[in-house]
Amino acid sequence: MKYKAFISYSHADEAWGGWLQRSLERFRAPAALARALEADGASARLSPVFRDREDFPVAGSLNAAIQAALADSEYQIVLCSPNAAKSKWVNDEVKLFHKLHGPGRVFLVIVGGEPFASKIPGREAAECFPPALRFVLDENGEPTGEAAEPLAADAREEGDGKRYAMLKVAAGMLGVGLDDLVRRDAQRRARQAWTITGASMAGMAATIALSVFAVNKSNEATRLRGEAEDLIEFMLTDLKDRLEPVGRLDVLESVVDRAMDYYAGLDLKSLDDDALARRAKAMMQLGTIDYRRNHLTEAQKAYETAEAATAELLRRAPNNPDRIFDHAQNVFYVGEAAIRRYDRTTQEKQNNEYLRLAQRLMEIDGDNPRSQLELAYATNNLGNVRSEAGLYGEAVPFYEKSIEARARLLAANPDDDKLRRAYAYAISWYALTLLRLGEYRPAIDQLHKQLGVYGALAEIRSQDFLTLDAVVTAQRRLADAYSLVGDAEAAADANTKAEITAKALVERDAQNANWSINAAHIERESSIRCFNAGDIKAARAAADRSVAIVEGVLTDDAPQWYRTALGQSLAWRIELSADDAAASDIEQLDRLIAGAIESDVKDNAGFIANASRTLAQFARKRGDAQKARAYLDRAIRALEPVLDRIPAATKIDVAGLYLDAGAAEKSAPLFETLDALGTRRPDYLAIRQEYLKIAAK
């Protein structure tokens, strides 16, 4: 036979056809297996594979070239999807191949839709098998009316995945056992993974360098480049997914850098669409690493470069679900980088585009859990926009809808840790918004639910640092929530657990800025507890550690959130220092308050109020009443326009601010609200007592 296989597919699924052809033609059977096949006189290669690249005519029958290729192909592979099920040409190819070669030589690969959905009322449009595959065919390739029961590999992420599906087909074409082929292939790929991430990284570089060197040498160059592209694909998908929970940005960065080094040695004009998509994926991952390290300018550039690339790829193939998905990721991350800079206009534009892409993905690939999860993410984002704007009540329905969608996906795939994290993440946003609304007890329930969803992944021994990153935030918020209801014991317990988790994270990678900021917050809370317990020495030591941790990750490009964290730690250290506070701390805190007011008052309201009170108290102790009044007035002027959109806990700081400024009457509504919410945090009870004394006069 001239061809090892003939791929039948709808041209709407062209990206899948290109992937499978490349994968089969580049496939090399493991050495021992290849020797055994060749000893039996069989070939260990799966090339060449025929894939028609031209659109079929509007009418007529299969052209002569297609018929000849079918006749000269040893096997047929049918890419099954709703597009293929509706294609007259795919159906005719199946019938003709059966007529020419008989049964037993056709392999099916599902790339979309659902088998036998045509039998389910209301689901007919999701059918993925063409009619000729749903029935037993006679010797002329015509349906007999007897239902067939075809077996198919599922190349989608929620199915076998691309690699395993390809191996199923390869095993059938080679006539070998699937288990043996998979085991040997896994061993080979494990060796490759170790080469990439371990001490043999130089070997990986040599492989890539060899393929770049040979890029102009026709057949051999194509083979080497194909192998390099396969390794790049593995690095940016499977390996990245395995490394991310390890929690080391430097290891992730080395993997992505290898991929970028490979592409730097190539003429971008020579890359096909799949290679360009991989390069865009590498750029996005570089952006994420910079984002986590607080290098926002570099992150923004990387995200925007990736977004431009995937936009062009989507323009070329507007109905390709992979292209839509890839572009949606970059649209989302550009928006994430924007919100770090309080660029709400860009964030809103990106979120709207992300929602549009998620909805489009559902239109053309709605049965795919990946599409359903993207729509859930987009829905969650709509809640985030409202929550960040202080419209907490409006955000709740979006979170509830997102949680419901993710719960369904996890129930259908209970062993999928990615879905487990996604479900818990939606709960975390809901819990945070309840906390901001002052619904402390429901927030506590949701935080416990979030931690429960993680299960064993939430334990330090899991070494799943991707999950532990979310766990420490939940533990920290739980401590805050218990403190707000006056349960000091539960708050201390939650903070201790957070402290242990934060320590493990920072020890794992001190360069991860977000982990360090969480650790600084927890140290500050520990300092407050030590102070309340009368251990001033321990309180001051913890306060110093809190400041030092933030200073260690604070770059010139850091978001305001990190500067606010530094200000909170400095304010507490000044309070502890009493009259001995360093002049440099006072000056720096003053600048940080001014910066917070300039960037976004609402998001920094609690810090502005509390830190201004700290500076005013210090000025009074120095006998400078005028300066104290200036600190308080500046904060009040900034905060009053946003008082209807601040979190419940922030109202404690604002109430204290009014009392310090001698405006007890303005604090009255705040105390009424906080009392109604059941607020019992120790500092609140102290200023409430002060207010009651003033009100009684």
pLDDT at 157: 81
CATH number reported for the structural domain that contains residue 76 in this entry: 3.40.50.10140
Token digits of residue 394: 């409006």
pLDDT digits (tens, 9 = 90+) for 236-285: 554 445 544 544 455 555 655 555 565 555 555 656 787 777 777 777 77
Confidence band (pLDDT; 50, 70, 90) for 182? low
Angstrom CA distances, 7 to 81, 86, 93, 370, stand at 14, 17, 10, 25
For residue 22, give the nearest of 1, 43, 53 by alpha carbon: 53
Q: How many domains does the chain have?
A: 2
pLDDT digits (tens, 9 = 90+) for 329-386: 888 888 877 777 667 788 788 888 988 999 999 998 888 888 999 999 999 988 988 8
**Is the model's pLDDT at 53 over the cut of 80?**
no
Tell whether 684 is covered by a domain: yes
**Is the model's pLDDT at 200 over the cut of 50?**
no
For residue 639, give the nearest of 651, 648, 626, 630 by alpha carbon: 651
pLDDT at 275: 73
**Is the model's pLDDT at 199 over the cut of 80?**
no
Lowest mean pLDDT across 67-81, 205-219, 548-562: 205-219
**Is the model's pLDDT at 660 over the cut of 90?**
yes
Share of the chain above pLDDT 90, in %: 46
pLDDT at 281: 77
Tell whether 415 is covered by a domain: no
Domain boundary (197, 223, 257) is at 197
pLDDT at 201: 47
Tell whether 283 is covered by a domain: no
Confidence band (pLDDT; 50, 70, 90) for 517? confident
Longest dimension (CA), the chain: 104
What's the chain's average pLDDT? 83
Tell whether 323 is covered by a domain: no
Q: Is 109 helix (H, G, I), strand (E, B) or coil?
A: strand
Rounded to 5 degrees, what are φ and ψ at 292? Answer: -70, -20
Q: Is 368 helix (H, G, I), strand (E, B) or coil?
A: coil
Full residue range of the structural domain in which residue 589 is found: 580-697
- In sequence order, the 6+-apart residues with CB closer than 8 A to the CB of 12 are 81, 83, 319
H/E run at residue 50: strand 49-51
Tell whether 697 is covered by a domain: yes
pLDDT digits (tens, 9 = 90+) for 427-468: 999 999 999 999 999 999 999 999 999 999 999 988 888 899
**Is the model's pLDDT at 491 over the cut of 50?**
yes
- In sequence order, the 6+-apart residues with CB closer than 8 A to the CB of 181 are 29, 30, 33, 167, 170, 171, 174
Tell whether 382 is covered by a domain: no
pLDDT digits (tens, 9 = 90+) for 80-105: 999 999 999 999 999 999 999 998 89
pLDDT at 292: 67
For residue 204, give the nearest of 191, 214, 216 by alpha carbon: 191
Domain boundary (158, 173, 197) is at 197
**Is the model's pLDDT at 514 over the cut of 90?**
no
Domain boundary (197, 232, 264) is at 197
How many Å apart are CA 532 and CA 520, to the nearest integer? 19
pLDDT at 515: 85
pLDDT at 151: 84
Give the total residue count for the chain.
697
How many Å apart are CA 664 and CA 518, to the nearest integer? 34
pLDDT digits (tens, 9 = 90+) for 390-425: 999 999 999 999 999 999 999 988 988 889 999 999
For residue 169, the number of C-alpha atoms closer than 13 Å in the C-beta half-sphere is 34
pLDDT digits (tens, 9 = 90+) for 546-569: 999 988 888 777 778 889 999 999
Tell whether 208 is covered by a domain: no
**Is the model's pLDDT at 217 over the cut of 60?**
no
Tell whether 600 is covered by a domain: yes
pLDDT at 261: 60
pLDDT at 193: 45
DSSP 173-236: HHT--HHHHHHHHHHHHHHHHHHHHSTTHHHHHHHHHHHHHTTTSHHHHHHHHHHHHHHHHHII
